[in-house]
Structure 1
Amino acid sequence: MASKVNSSNSDFMNSGDATWILTSSFIIFTMQTGFGLLESASIRKKNEVSMMLRNCICPLFSGIAYWTSAYGLSVARESEESGFFTNGNFFVDSSEPEMGALFASFIFRSSLSATTTTIASGAMAERASFTGYYLFSFWNTIFLALPSHWVWSKNGFLRKMNVVDIAGCLSVYFTGGLAALISTIYLKPRHGRFEKSVISPLAFGNFVRTRKTDPFVMNSPTNVLVGTYMLWWGSLGLNMGSTFGVSAQKWKYAARASIATMISTVAGGTNALLLSYFTKRGKFDIMLFATGLLSSSVAISGGCSLYKPWEAFVIGLIASSLGITCINILKKLHIDDPSNMIAIHLPASVFGMLAVSLIVEEDKLLLKSYGQSGLLRGGSINFLWAQFEALLFTGAWVISTTCLMLFLIDKIFHLRISDEEESRGCNLLDHNYDYKAMDDNLLPQMFSLAHSSFMSARNVTRGRMEAKRSFNKVVKALGFINSLKGLVDEKTIDSLKQERAKNISINWSHA
């Protein structure tokens, strides 16, 4: 018989709470579709199918990892909980009396874990091998599950420091965004991504070969927007579901989380549109809009059920600006972020964790802030320091484990594909599927076809002009002949007239 789960999120759960948690979990799971659309649409068409399939298989390997080991390491059995990791329920199962709370907790946390792992996939797009990626998904799930235990379980060492993370700002978005950054630095930029050959300060001392022309454009702006909508929708489910129920006043916090999320994303999306309009000379850039809106949904998650609407508005504005600014910083550092996963999640999550310790008021109803107020509300600087320490500890863990995973996978299975394979595209490389459409891999053929068509058209035009010239020559020749004919006819008639007159005169003389 499985032992009872000793998690603060599952304490005192009733049927209404379980229904709320399960419904929220299914909404969170739809974020996988949003990530798939956004990531596959923001890269070149020759990699689109492979990227979407990778987003599909991510929940597979992430789910296996979470069921077999990650849940047991992050959620303890009763009286078996430690501050760093646990010896919990591996290969999750439960007895009938306790299966409701356990399984609801498992499905909710596994949905969050899959989201964390998927964030890194966008940063690895177009150059990571298929085998390397799904091995990374499996091990990444196990290692990055531990921060959720540190901050959410009763005996987690960050929880004992009174670190506040309501909806995964630290344990989901920060860990995923930082893993994405380490992954893309390790893999180095896609071949020909930037303008000129430089040594990137974050590229492990290797030359980054680049070219002036930048053909790395999104293949479907429409799907980028659809994916953004689905992630927007999913963030609402995540933030509201993080109350982990609706009983005992929790429904009030769910309502406040919903309004805070909406106000923050409305502010972030509007700010992104305005920044795009002024920086792109009156145009509205799709990726800037998506980055700004989603950055605001990340930042608000840190204290979504504690913020007032005006506070959420300010957080959305700042987070949106940070995400858009990060895009340009990454380009200057020659860090290749194909789907803006780093720009969306990393700066906004850091800001979101620190914002909680600056502006929230003490929560006296459910003690979600652990009796603390933000520094700008008259609270202690210890609150801000605890949030900062949480970022440092979690960052150190993510960097070390991600580097270790990437190194081992690369040495054993070869993580990065070759330049030739990258040029052919992962659709053809992994699935023997190729698009016969506009693609930088098909540009030579397209240019050749266009040149042939142009030459054919020019030859036809030349033929028509030559025919016209010949026709004009014929017309002129006929005209000349006709003029000569007329001249001959006139001379003949005159000679005949003269001959006739001569004959007449001779006849008269003989008479």
Structure 2
Amino acid sequence: MVGYGLSFGDNSFHGLFGRSKFFLDTNDADRLGHIFAHFFFQSSFATTATTIVSGSVAERANFIGYIVFSFFNTFVYAFPAHWIWHEEGFLNKHFGAIDFAGSGAVHLVGGATALVAAIMIGPRTNRWTEPQKFHMDSPINALLGLFMLWWGWLGFNCGSTYGVAGGKWKLASKAAVTTINGSIGGGIVAFAMTFFLQHGRFDVGWIINGILGGLVSITSFCPVMTPAEALVVGGIGGAVVIGTGYLIEFLKIDDPVGAVAVHGGAGVWSLVAVGLFAGPDPTEENLFTTSGLFRGGGFTLLGAQSLYIVCCIGWAVLCTYISMKLIDLTIGIRCSYAIELFGADMMEHNIGGYYDHKTHEIFDSKHNPIGVASKDLSHAQIDILYKKYLEAEHKFIFEGIDLLFHAKLEDPADEQPMTTTLADCRIDSGILMSTGCTPPDNNTQSCSSPVRAAPSGSRNPVVDVEVADGNDSPIRMRGVGPKID
């Protein structure tokens, strides 16, 4: 609605913000494609600056409060984008600061915002008293997220040429190479640091953040650095991320995913690296005309980049504090202990259970009442409710196992059942299934290889399982379970 106009509107107000192109639209056939492509691309940058913050407040943020914050945080991004990318922006026009694809306006602003948000919202309950309970729940999902970001980074960096005509495709091609090299450098350093600092253990979280730190580090000037420089800059970025992560933890600031270290720490280094390594654009586009200190350009560019860093951090810290303070005084920025413990999946989205926000009553996934998590309950009482919920949710598993080992014997002549071993099985909603079987829902059996198969003309499933006793000798068990409705 208004963010794009603030960033890229004409008639700039002293290089601080634009004053046109609000509620963007155009009938200019010649410019229509370019205008909307630029709008869409920049909206993804604005989104990224906000999603960075979600990682630093994960597992204890008020969902509605975060939605409101996300809306206002768009303005936090819009102003620095004007300063650095609009031709009249004061950092661009008067100081010659450089940020090709958003290390400052996107990542540093997002990282600084994440830092303030994490401090204001406070740590997760027992984060520093029982640190052993806090660990990465799913390294596989985290790695999948890394690969999605890795791939998307190529789109951001290469796409920041805004075209392929003239020399832009050449810059995009080089940006692709340096982007990959930067991630490699960050990953190599992260591998080495986790091995030596954690006594031979390769920490998945460190490696992921090291790679991301390498990507952030080269984002600000990826088309005008050499591939070798990309390895060095990315490697230093990986080290900065891990070092910043240690500092954040030492200061007892709870940042579950390392957003401050990855985007804030590596963002600062990226802008400093521009003042050291940047060189002129060799193509006819002339996107870069100033060289860094190591390229014979002196301290001019390094000074401009330092001012850019200060402006991004100062602006983000001020705006974030004001917006989050107002939200905290009205809606609230932190969720209740019950929501923190049970999780937003269930309490906000009815996944795996249900929470009535009016009555504060909690139900399990079978719609059975668990109890009332009223605001006057102590943490110990909420813990009891959570234990009751877990017992209810896992009851079907225990019932399935009990059915398996206490099944009623049946005449073997009734049916020729299927066989499998426990090693090849999984329990799905109380029904023991072979690994190759995926039922269409929780109540029916229509797949090709169920362990529990109903004899023809009967609704009673046959159980025929081979297990091992204490001496690893196979024991065959056969029985009939209850009817499947």
Alignment equivalent of 1:90, drawn from 3, 19, 22: 22
Deviations 1:406-431 (A, max 9, x none): 00111111111133432232223212
| 1:166 equivalent in alignment to 2:84 | no
The aligned counterpart of 1:113 is: 46
SS at structure 2 position matched to 1:305: helix
RMSD of aligned Cα (Å): 2.3
State the 1:81 CA deviation: 6.3
Task: Classify 1:249/1:407 alpha carbon distance in 2 versus 1 (closer, same or farther; 3 Å).
Answer: same
| 1:285 equivalent in alignment to 2:203 | yes
State the 1:80 CA deviation: 5.5
Alignment equivalent of 1:342, drawn from 236, 241, 260: 260
Deviations 1:366-402 (A, max 9, x none): 3333x32111222121211110001111211111111
**1:63-462, aligned counterparts within 5 Å?**
68-77=1-10, 79=11, 82-97=14-29, 98-160=31-93, 161-194=95-128, 211-365=129-283, 366-369=285-288, 371-434=289-352
Distance in 1 between the 2:290 and 2:312 partners? 22
Distance in 1 between the 2:292 and 2:124 partners? 43
Task: Classify 1:110/1:257 alpha carbon distance in 2 versus 1 (closer, same or farther; 3 Å).
Answer: same
The amino acid across from 2:19 in the alignment is N
SS at structure 2 position matched to 1:214: helix
Distance in 2 between the 1:144 and 1:446 partners? 42
Distance in 1 between the 2:131 and 2:88 partners? 54
**Structure 1: 5+ residue stretches without partners:** 1-67, 195-210, 454-511
Distance in 2 between the 1:191 and 1:381 partners? 46
State the 1:364 CA deviation: 4.8
State the 1:278 CA deviation: 2.2
Contact 2:63/2:335 (8 A) holds in 1? no
Q: How many residue pairs were aligned?
A: 365
Contact 2:116/2:320 (8 A) holds in 1? yes
Contact 2:279/2:290 (8 A) holds in 1? yes
Distance in 2 between the 1:447 and 1:280 partners? 36
Task: Classify 1:245/1:445 alpha carbon distance in 2 versus 1 (closer, same or farther; 3 Å).
Answer: closer
The aligned counterpart of 2:406 is: none
SS at structure 1 position matched to 2:133: coil
Contact 1:150/1:157 (8 A) holds in 2? yes
Contact 1:306/1:360 (8 A) holds in 2? yes
Deviations 1:222-273 (A, max 9, x none): 0000000010111111110111111121111111111100111111112212
Deviations 1:91-120 (A, max 9, x none): 111114232121111001001111111000
State the 1:169 CA deviation: 0.6
State the 1:444 CA deviation: 8.2
**Structure 2: 5+ residue stretches without partners:** 354-363, 366-382, 399-485
The amino acid across from 2:68 in the alignment is L
SS at structure 2 position matched to 1:283: coil
Distance in 1 between the 2:83 and 2:388 partners? 54
TM, length-normalised to structure 2: 0.71
Contact 1:299/1:349 (8 A) holds in 2? yes
State the 1:90 CA deviation: 1.2
The amino acid across from 1:283 in the alignment is R
Contact 1:276/1:288 (8 A) holds in 2? yes
State the 1:443 CA deviation: 6.3
Contact 1:74/1:88 (8 A) holds in 2? no
**1:17-28, aligned counterparts within 5 Å?**
none
SS at structure 1 position matched to 2:223: coil
The aligned counterpart of 2:425 is: none
Task: Classify 1:212/1:80 alpha carbon distance in 2 versus 1 (closer, same or farther; 3 Å).
Answer: closer
SS at structure 2 position matched to 1:337: coil
Distance in 1 between the 2:228 and 2:143 partners? 27
**1:20-59, aligned counterparts within 5 Å?**
none
Distance in 1 between the 2:125 and 2:301 partners? 45
Contact 2:12/2:88 (8 A) holds in 1? no
Distance in 2 between the 1:172 and 1:446 partners? 40
Contact 1:80/1:86 (8 A) holds in 2? yes
The amino acid across from 1:397 in the alignment is W
The amino acid across from 1:131 in the alignment is I
Distance in 2 between the 1:137 and 1:272 partners? 31
The amino acid across from 2:326 in the alignment is L
Distance in 1 between the 2:339 and 2:211 partners? 34
State the 1:212 CA deviation: 3.4
The aligned counterpart of 2:372 is: none
SS at structure 1 position matched to 2:88: coil
State the 1:215 CA deviation: 1.2
Distance in 2 between the 1:167 and 1:315 partners? 16
Distance in 1 between the 2:286 and 2:13 partners? 22
Whose helix proportion is higher, 1 or 2? 1
Contact 2:277/2:295 (8 A) holds in 1? yes
Task: Classify 1:314/1:442 alpha carbon distance in 2 versus 1 (closer, same or farther; 3 Å).
Answer: same
TM, length-normalised to structure 1: 0.68
